[in-house]
Amino acid sequence: MRILLVRHAPAVERALWRGEDAGRPLTEEGERRFRKGARALVALVPDLERILASPLTRSRQTAALLAEEAARQRPAPAVEIDASLAPGVLAGQPANRLRRALASPGGTLALVGHEPDLSRLEARLLTGRDRPLATFRKGGAALLEGDPQGEGGAILLWHLTAGQLRGLA
């Protein structure tokens, strides 16, 4: 099983947004930049099978952009909204639905979410501890391989910033 961890692309700044934080959308520039980064992600991860996204607007939009890019070369991977990827939920153990998704056989599973949750999940899968080894910048991603049930048993294949991904596109 391979797991692609993706932080949502740049969203409208909190100070400029008048609605609830959950509704903050991506900026036009954030969308444009992530589309280019998504091209690199699809090339690096040709077996992308499923995408789970946080229910927040910025993560759902990021997941949709990734799926759109993947659909250019093959059938689009399914995008599912998963409340366990909402900010603060992954602070403990991954929810049962997320555990089942991680344990399912097949191609790569992408998780689109937020910081600091993604860096903690990455650390937990790699080392069995919650102490982050790196942080995810907006639009950045990491690819892990291994047994997601055995926390601390995964292998980091790469961890790239959004700029690095765009440079590969």
String of DSSP letters for 26-72: BPHHHHHHHHHHHHHHHHH-TTEEEEEE-SSHHHHHHHHHHHHHHHT
Mean pLDDT over 110-130 rounds to: 92
pTM (two decimals) = 0.92
pLDDT of residue 88: 86
9-32: per-residue pLDDT in tens?
Answer: 999 998 899 989 899 999 999 999
Is residue 149 predicted with pLDDT exceeding 80? no
Per DSSP, which regions of 48-137 are E strands?
A: 48-53, 78-81, 108-113
Q: What angle do CA 104, 166, 133 make, to 5 degrees?
A: 55
Q: How far apart are CA 102 and CA 119, in angstroms?
A: 16
Q: How far apart are CA 163 and CA 63, in angstroms?
A: 18
pLDDT of residue 91: 55
92-110: per-residue pLDDT in tens?
Answer: 555 555 666 666 667 899 9
Ramachandran angles phi, psi of 107, nearest 5°? -75, -170
Q: What's 162's domain CATH number? A: 3.40.50.1240
The count of domains in the chain is 1
For 93, the domain range is 2-168
Mean pLDDT over 47-73 rounds to: 95
